[in-house]
């Protein structure tokens, strides 16, 4: 099984930069995903990392260190619409199948 | 438009009355999955399927059944719903292990 930890809540100011951390323990790591979920809506895909390093996509970047079991999502130039829950998810290929396990999410509140 | 369609969006039912939540995707994805989302617990996988007639249990399969007779459809069946199955349910699909899931809009189920 997997154990995925991320902070429960974070607050930041419009225009600032925020880093959301995620640590995981898994036996058959096969990729890490970040999703954004606004209240009452479906999660939407943000990023995917399977190799170590930084993946940049516009205002969002995601970093992975497989040896440390660690990832972070970096959000730059924060906007009010970035207030949402951010979910870290790990794909595991144990037992020959591939499952995607989610952390409990980090609620980000962006204030003016 | 590429999408995952769940029905119904909202459902209130009584304990013990069998129900089915439908899920259909039009992207020819091989992987499909059902999750439930509860406050403080995050998204938890119920069942997943890697292809037609191939399904397996996720983390919380008790009280649920699924079937994958066609590639596009992956219904979730509650044979005898109980109040602890009151939750927000998401169906999701993916073309493969290197890709994120696309989620449906969710089904909010209340069992009284």
- Three-class secondary structure assignment of A40-107: CCCCEEEEEECCCEEEEECCEEEEEECCCCEEEEEECCCCHHHCEEEEEEEEECHHHCCEEEECCCEE
> In the predicted model, what is the mean pLDDT of residues A23-46?
93
pLDDT tens-digit readout, A48-82: 999 999 999 999 999 999 999 999 999 999 999 99
Using the CB atoms, write b or e for A17-38: b if 16+ within 10 Å: ebebebbbebeebbbbbbbbbe
Element of type H or E holding A29:
strand A29-37
Contacts for B29 with CB less than 8 Å, ≥ 6 apart: B71, B93, B94, B95, B102
Q: A-side interface with B, Cβ within 8 Å?
A: 1, 30-31, 33, 35, 41-45, 48, 50, 87, 89, 91, 93, 97-105
The reported pLDDT for the residue numbered B73 is: 98
Asked whether residue B15 carries a pLDDT value surpassing 90, the answer given is yes
Nearest CB among A31, A44, A89 relative to B98 is that of A31
Averaging pLDDT over each range in A25-34, A43-52, B95-104, which range is the top one?
Answer: A43-52
- What is the rounded end-to-end Cα distance, in angstroms, of chain A? 40
Q: Using the beta-carbon criterion (under 8 Å), do B43 and A102 form an inter-chain contact?
A: yes
pLDDT tens-digit readout, B49-89: 999 999 999 989 999 999 999 999 999 999 999 999 999 99
Asked whether residue B98 carries a pLDDT value surpassing 80, the answer given is no
Asked whether residue A95 carries a pLDDT value surpassing 70, the answer given is no
Say how many C-beta atoms besides its own lie within 10 A of residue B35's C-beta.
27
Average pLDDT, chain A: 93
- What is the rounded end-to-end Cα distance, in angstroms, of chain B? 36
Asked whether residue B39 carries a pLDDT value surpassing 80, the answer given is yes
Q: Using the beta-carbon criterion (under 8 Å), do A97 and B103 form an inter-chain contact?
A: no
- B6 is written with which tokens? 């769940």
- Three-class secondary structure assignment of chain B: CCCEEEECCEEEECCCCCEEEEEEECCCCCEEEEEEEECCCEEEEEEEEEECCEEEECCCCCCCEECCCCCCECCEEECCCCHHHCEEEEEEEECCCCCCCEECCCEEEEEC
Asked whether residue A96 carries a pLDDT value surpassing 70, the answer given is no
Identify all chain A residues contacting B97, using CB atoms and an 8 Å cutoff: 30-31, 91, 93, 98
Sign, Cα dihedral of A26, A100, A44, B29: positive
């Amino acid at each position: 099984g997997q154990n995925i930890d991320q902070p429960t809540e974070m607050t930041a100011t419009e225009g600032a930069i925020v880093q959301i951390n995620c640590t995981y323990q898994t036996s058959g790591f096969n990729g890490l995903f970040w999703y954004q979920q606004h209240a009452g809506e479906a999660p939407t895909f943000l990023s995917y990392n399977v190799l170590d390093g930084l993946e940049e996509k516009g205002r969002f970047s995601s970093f992975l260190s497989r040896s440390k079991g660690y990832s972070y999502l970096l959000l730059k130039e924060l906007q009010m619409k970035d207030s949402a829950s951010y979910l870290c998810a790990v794909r595991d290929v144990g037992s020959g199948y591939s499952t995607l396990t989610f952390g409990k999410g980090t609620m980000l509140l962006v204030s003016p | 438009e590429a999408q995952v369609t769940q029905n119904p969006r909202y459902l209130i039912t009584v304990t013990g009355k069998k129900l089915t939540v439908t899920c259909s995707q039009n992207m020819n994805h091989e992987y499909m999955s059902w999750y439930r989302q509860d406050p403080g617990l995050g998204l938890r996988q119920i069942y997943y399927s890697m292809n037609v007639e191939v399904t397996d249990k996720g983390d919380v399969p008790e009280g649920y059944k699924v079937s994958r007779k066609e590639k596009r459809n992956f219904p979730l069946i509650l044979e005898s719903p109980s109040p602890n199955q009151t939750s927000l349910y998401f169906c999701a699909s993916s073309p493969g292990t290197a890709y994120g899931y696309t989620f449906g809009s969710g089904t909010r189920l209340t069992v009284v």
